[in-house]
Amino acid sequence: MNSKTHLAAKSTANQAMLDNSTITQDNKVLLSAQGISCHKQDRVLFEDISLTVSSGQLIHLLGPNGAGKTSLIRILVGLSSPDSGTVTLSNSTSEPYPLIYLGHKLGLNKHLSSVENLQFWANMHGVVTTTDELYLLLARFNLVGLEDVPSGELSAGQQRRVSLARTQLLPANIWVLDEPYTSLDIQGVTFIQELIDDFVESGGAVLMTSHQPLQSRLPVTDITLEYRL
C-alpha cells in the first residue's frame, strides 16, 4: 500500500503538506519540517514544504534529476540551511544519535579495508566494537573473503554494501539514505530492502531516494518532487 504526495512545482508559491494517512496516533514524530524552501542560483527548487517523519514510517522521495531530492535531504539532516522555514529533530528520541545519513557518495577511504573503514566510522561515533564483530557484520552483507581487501579494489556494488553496513553499527531512530540501491545487484537490493523493512517494523523510520520502485512488504509513503524551471 502506498500513500502518494506530489510536491508539484507548477505555481510560484508551492505549498505542500505530506499526507501522513499511513501513520497512527501510536507513532512518534521524529523529525518535522515547516515551510522550507531552497533556491539554487536563480532557480527555485522547492518552496514552502512541510512534512513529518514518524516512527514506523517508510518514505520514498521521488523525482527527476535536478528536482531537489538531495538538496531537500541535506536540509532535513542539517547539512544545509533552507532559504526559509525550519527543521526540528525530536529531543525525546531514545538513541544517542537521532539519525544516520548515508549520502550518494560512499564515504569510504579507498586505501583502507572494509574492516578498517567500519572500525574508523565506529570509533568516530564512539561505538565500541571488535574485529570479530565486524567480520560477522560483513558476512551478513555477503562480503566474506573481502574483509581485508582495500576498498578501492572492490566493485561498486561491494563498496555500496560496506557503506550500508554502517547502519548496523550506530543505534539511531531515523535512516536517511540517498540512492542506497546504486550499483547493487538484484540480490543486494532485496537484502537491503529487507533490512530497511525490519528497521521500520522495529519502530525506526526511513527516508530514502531511489529511481526504482520499492519492493517493500510495508506501506510506503511516496513523495514526488517535480522539476521546476
Q: In the Cβ-directed half-sphere of 70, how many Cα atoms lie within 13 Å? A: 12
- What does each of the 229 residues of the chain score in pLDDT, given as a tens digit? 555 554 433 333 333 444 444 444 468 999 999 999 999 888 888 999 999 999 999 999 999 998 899 999 999 999 999 999 999 988 665 666 789 999 989 999 999 999 999 999 999 999 999 999 999 999 999 999 999 999 999 999 999 999 999 999 988 999 999 999 999 999 999 999 999 999 999 999 999 999 888 999 999 999 999 887 7
What's the pLDDT at 90? 81
What's the pLDDT at 24? 47
What's the pLDDT at 93? 57
What's the pLDDT at 130? 96
What's the pLDDT at 184? 95
- The conformation of residue 227, written as its DSSP 8-state character, comes to P
Please give the domain boundaries of the chain with CATH numbers for all domains. Answer: 1-95+210-229 (3.40.50)
What's the pLDDT at 229? 76
Amino acid (1-letter code) at residue 34: Q
What's the pLDDT at 205? 97
